[in-house]
Amino acid sequence: MTPEFLVSLYEVHVGRAAHALASPYLGRLLRVTGRIGDTVGNGRLLIVRFDRRASPSAVRIEMWFHGRAGDRVVRSPREVMVVGSIHGVTRSQITLDHCVVESEAYRAPVDLV
């Protein structure tokens, strides 16, 4: 399952028909890779979007990090791999909830005290 597949469900179908096709995927985990773009947060929730200029995909990915899970997300020119639960799908966007940075290669270093 890819982001492109999920949004393609809305290309042929509309409204309730499209939602009915997408609903079995809600709550399932999706792994995505991209460069970090916009970030907005309030300390409890960090909302992150991939930089669409650096991505070959036209699908907008919005990722919600809760609590300390967002501490590992930094504005970086490198790609990061994120896994999250599919919260919503539209014609052009996928929203992932309870996201974590999965790739060890891009996690922030841990302080050894």
CATH code for position 34: 2.40.50.140
Domain range for 88: 3-106
How far apart CA 46 and CA 66 sit, in angstroms, is 6
The verdict on residue 29 lying in a domain is yes
The verdict on residue 113 lying in a domain is no
pLDDT of residue 42: 75
The verdict on residue 112 lying in a domain is no
Task: Report the number of distinct structural domains present in the chain.
Answer: 1
The verdict on residue 111 lying in a domain is no
Considering the chain, what percentage of its residues have pLDDT values greater than 90? 24
pLDDT of residue 107: 43
pLDDT at 11 over 90: no
The verdict on residue 50 lying in a domain is yes
The verdict on residue 18 lying in a domain is yes
Residue ranges of the alpha helices (H) in the chain? 3-12, 15-22
pLDDT of residue 113: 41
pLDDT tens digits along 63-99: 988 887 777 776 555 778 889 999 999 988 899 999 9
The verdict on residue 84 lying in a domain is yes
pLDDT of residue 92: 85
The answer to whether the predicted template modeling score (pTM) of the entire model surpasses 0.85 is no
The verdict on residue 25 lying in a domain is yes
pLDDT of residue 54: 61
The closest alpha carbon to 79, from 103, 96, 47, 110, belongs to 103
- Does residue 51 or residue 55 have the better pLDDT? 51
Average pLDDT across the chain, whole number? 80
